[in-house]
Amino acid sequence: MALVSLVIYGVLLIAVVFIVAMLSMGGNNNTSVSSENSFYSENEAIKILGISKEALKTMVSEEILRKYNNDGNTVFRKEDIEELSRNHKN
């Protein structure tokens, strides 16, 4: 009986760790935001980085860049875009 309880406890612990990890990763890499001042729109990010829309989508899918959602619009943190822009120019 003690072994069964230990196995159940272990399975529950693994499930909780998995759920916490998924929540901390943002699930689908799309997080809602409330402040517009610290974000660039998708078009602004493309222009600043000098890349295509497809390249931007690839960066998101490869988790190089994280996208956020602001009232249904895709936006990117200014800090992230500016850092990528600096690194791209070097």
Helices (H), 1-90: 2-24, 42-49, 53-61, 78-89
- On whether the pTM is more than 0.75, the answer is no
More confident residue, 6 or 10: 6
The closest of 87, 27, 11, 88 to 63, measured between CA atoms, is 27
pLDDT, average across residues 18-22: 57
CB 31 within 8 A of CB 66: yes
CB 88 within 8 A of CB 81: no
More confident residue, 37 or 68: 68
Taking CB atoms within 8 Å and a gap of at least 24, the contacts of 31-34 are 31/66, 31/67, 31/68, 31/69, 32/68, 32/69, 32/70, 33/68, 33/69, 33/70, 33/75, 34/70
Reply yes or no on domain 33-90 having CATH 1.10.10: no
User: Using 50, 70 and 90 to split pLDDT, how confident is the model at 27?
Assistant: very low
